[in-house]
Chains A and B, each alone.
Chain A
Amino acid sequence: MSSSATFRIWRGDAKGGEFRDYQAEISEGMVVLDAVHQIQARQANDLAVRWNCKAGKCGSCSAEINGFPRLMCMTRLTDLPLSEVVTIQPLHTFPLLKDLVTDVSWNFRVKKTVKRFTPRPADAADGSWRMAQADVERIQEFRKCIECFLCQDVCHVLRNHRLMDQFAGPRNFVNVANLEMHPLDTQNRLPDLKDRHGIGYCNITKCCTRVCPEEIKITDNAIIPLKERVVDEHYDPVTMVLGKIFSGFRGKATTAAKR
């Protein structure tokens, strides 16, 4: 590994800015966030960067490194071609506040529009429920989400087409899948998914899955199953009829699973 490397970091705010080159000393085991901290300490005290855990669990240090959305704390310098300049820039999709910090509050505003978890009546007299482990295993994958919003950043519906008012984005679909597939939940979020949250805009390019630091299979396990549920209820005449005749067809059980 070379003893120093050049980092080209975006400096500026919503009014404008520029890339600036900084040299940083490199030592074994460093990640991109270490280099940014070193630059901040020695050369650019006013460099704005959001970070917290340095362990890939808080989702704060999202940025675009060499043009690809990543967590700075989880990107090892040994995985980058340090003979070339390393480019670090803020998330492209969200409004820039300063330097590497963007305003991601839109994601939380959309999250508030999702119908809340609504469990069926309690299974036991003490107010508790009974769930089979097999029934909750599927949604446990979705709970790994750290809300880094890299998936929202890379999704071209938001990034390139700016359809924020019609499309909720992959992170919010993971949240909906977590609620909609819950064995206790009784809500129907499919009409909202189709209209308000615009799941039909997703064209399954799997970029969200590719950038997820928690390796959640967002497209295969959350978005496509939700799309299929929307098809069941709004596009497929056979399942629409079956859903009317058999109350259990939609999969929303109203009784406790066998233990």
Chain B
Amino acid sequence: MAQAVAITQQDRFGQTSRRDAWWASPAAVVIGLVAFVIYTTWAALQGANYRYDGYLSPFYSPELWGSPQAWFGATRPWWYPSWLVFTPALFILWIPAGFRLTCYYNRGAYYKAFWADPPACAVGEPRQSYWGENYFPLLLQNIHRYFMYLAVLLVLALLTDVWHAFWFTDASGHEHFGIGVGTLVIALDVFLVGGYTFGCHSLRHLCGGRLNQPSLCPLQSKLYSCSSMLNRRHMAWFWCSLAWVGFSDLYVRLCAMGVISDWRIVF
């Protein structure tokens, strides 16, 4: 026999008829992003222990100013603000930060996790007003493709770091080819960052997705297929590359501080 039950509200913040742990995914995003931002900020502001033999922390790559191995030398540039702590990471980190902040996957993830807009699918929201990305300031998210151009250049710089990571200097100052755990760590970092960057939605669009007849442009068609293949797992590439770039910095830092020693085979 039918039995009446009170009606449930669904329009208030957090209210839903969902039974699953809908809060788990946004909570994981908050934990992951906050932990990464805290570590990155700390590591970037150190300005030290970012090089060890042939290894360079990806937070500091490419090193433009800051040490004798830097592209433009160790001298602090004349235009650098005197009130700002000098660290080579600040010349670079704004690029990957901007790229990830405006990333299509990440936007959806942090709108849910930090702004509860919505907290999860089919879950009530805290605010009635909504502008989306139709108006300033979120309209600026459309700058993503420009960060992508710069991020592609950074991947090329990271590739040169892998090459340098194969060369080790002995006590007499001579360089020898070799391979160490750090070499593998840095190489995997480039692989993951490259997979994330080249699967970017904007890159996918610009390299061929904008065409309605890709068969007329075989090269762009091929590039589009490659980018689409990476794009299918864009979320996984995002998180794996984020975690590994942090680990790569930690590994180089711990080696440079003498906390751990790098296992290597030198020829």
A contacts, CB < 8 Å to B = 8, 11, 17-22, 43-44, 64, 66-69, 81, 84, 87, 89, 92, 132, 134-135, 154, 156-157, 159-161, 163, 181-183, 185, 198, 200-207, 210-211, 219-220, 224-225, 228-229, 231-232, 235-236, 249-253, 257-258
Chain A-chain B contacts (Cβ-Cβ < 8 Å), number: 159
Per-position 1/0 for B103-119, Cβ under 8 A of A = 01101100110000110
Q: B148 → chain A, closest Cβ, in Å?
A: 11
> Complex: how many Å from CA A179 to CA B195?
31
B108 surroundings in chain A (CB, below 8 A) = 203-206, 219
B142 surroundings in chain A (CB, below 8 A) = 231, 235-236
B221 surroundings in chain A (CB, below 8 A) = 134
> Complex: how many Å from CA A154 to CA B124?
11
A67 and B7 contacting across the interface, CB-CB below 8 Å: no
Q: A159 → chain B, closest Cβ, in Å?
A: 7
A251 and B212 contacting across the interface, CB-CB below 8 Å: yes
Q: Which of B16, B122, B133 contacts A201 (CB 8 A)?
A: B133
A235 surroundings in chain B (CB, below 8 A) = 139, 142
> Complex: how many Å from CA A43 to CA B121?
33
Q: B74 → chain A, closest Cβ, in Å?
A: 36
Q: Is B145 an interface residue (CB 8 A)?
A: yes
B104 and A8 contacting across the interface, CB-CB below 8 Å: no
Q: Is B216 an interface residue (CB 8 A)?
A: yes
Stretch at the interface among B49-57, B65-73, B203-211: B203-211
> Which residue of chain A is the closest to B135 with respect to CB atoms?
A200
Q: Which of A21, A228, A257 contacts B2 (CB 8 A)?
A: A21
> Complex: how many Å from CA A132 to CA B5?
58
A251 surroundings in chain B (CB, below 8 A) = 210-213
Which residues of B9-37 are within 8 A (CB) of A?
A: 10-11, 16-20
> Complex: how many Å from CA A201 to CA B122?
17
A135 and B2 in contact, given A64-B17, A204-B108 (Cβ under 8 angstroms): no
B262 surroundings in chain A (CB, below 8 A) = none
A224 surroundings in chain B (CB, below 8 A) = 104, 201, 205
> Complex: how many Å from CA A87 to CA B18?
9
A67 surroundings in chain B (CB, below 8 A) = 16-19, 122
Q: Is B172 an interface residue (CB 8 A)?
A: no
> Which residue of chain A is the closest to B121 with respect to CB atoms?
A207
Q: Which of A64, A182, A198, A249 contacts B122 (CB 8 A)?
A: A64
> Complex: how many Å from CA A83 to CA B124?
26
Q: Which of B11, B145, B201, B214 contacts A236 (CB 8 A)?
A: B145
